[in-house]
Amino acid sequence: MKQFLLTILLVSLCALGASAQRGVVNKKKAAPSSTLSVGIGGGTRINYIRITNVSPNLQGDPFATWGFLSSLFVSWDFWDCRIGIRPQVSWLRRGGEYNLWAAQLHSSVWYDVRARYIDVRMPIVFNFQSKNSRCPVVPYVFATPILGFASGGDIVLNGGSSISTSTAGIYMEMPITKANIAKHYLGAGAGAGVKYKFEINRQGFLLGLEAMYDHGFNNTYGKQEIDGKSNDVGNLVEYNHDKLKGERCFKGIEMQLYFGIPFDLSIQRREKPQTTRSVRNL
């Protein structure tokens, strides 16, 4: 066992010595290590809502709604810039709309959720080109867990056309804080993008475009909504004035354009001055 460990140690020392020797010979070439980038992003988002256990008295389908998002990120590419992580904070809106026909109310009803979120994300990125590639365009794919915090918004119930004039023009708007929506949003996202690296006056810049699908896993109903104590907006979806038995989940598709400034973190090896000794033959 000791001989085996000694052999491994000797091989490791020889490898380190050879690596150091190559670094001295190629002193003008920096060893590729990693790249750090900081930047901002913005774009648009298509929001969808999924509600289970909808009352049979309500007939209709969900509709997509549009929203905007903005982001701040720090990106770190390593392993010859093939793999990267990108801690990111995003501000966006989630929700969606149901266009329903309430049979018992003889009225059409629009149920619209407009919830604002602050997301913390950690995308893991795989770049299809290494740092040594001469092509400035780099395609990539990524996946990320998502932890969102509800920060505001509202829930709107709007009654449109009605057979009975007594139910026409129903309009209810409830702030998210009073509706007691679930404070945390748990989800995951996956997508693909392309980034373009360029220079202006020897300063590097990064311009990218990406698309991502975001899928929420948790029920976004708050406790007061479930118990029927916050308002009648959620209860009308199931037409149940006791407790909500279903779930309300969010999902969406994002398109984001971002701009960043990269910083190379290559390690430059310095050559030690060599001293020559003269040998005299005596």
Residue 170 in domain: yes
Residue 78 in domain: yes
Output the pLDDT for position 103. 65
- What's the token pair of residue 218? 């948790």
Domain count, the chain: 1
Residue 245 in domain: yes
For residue 185, give the amino acid letter: Y
Output the pLDDT for position 133. 75
For the CA atoms of 177, 246, 120, 75, what is the dihedral angle to 10 degrees?
-150
Category of 18 on φ-ψ map: left (φ > 0), alpha (ψ -120 to 50) or beta: alpha
pTM: 0.75
Output the pLDDT for position 137. 92
Instruction: Choose among 261, 272, 264: nearest CA to 30.
Output: 264
Please state whether beta strands 171-175 and 248-264 pair in parallel, antiparallel, or not at all (unpaired): unpaired
Q: How far apart are CA 71 and CA 249, in angstroms?
A: 23
pLDDT in tens, 41-90: 999 999 999 888 776 666 677 889 999 999 999 999 888 888 999 999 99
For the CA atoms of the chain, what is the radius of gyration? Answer: 29
Residue span of the structural domain in which 38 resides = 33-264
CATH, residue 212: 2.40.160.20
Residue 18 in domain: no
Residue 222 in domain: yes
Residue 279 in domain: no
The ranges of the chain with pLDDT < 50 are: 1-29, 31-32, 162-167, 232, 269, 278-279, 281-282
Residue 9 in domain: no
Q: How far apart are CA 281 and CA 278, in angstroms?
A: 10
Secondary structure (3-state) at 225: helix
Residue 62 in domain: yes
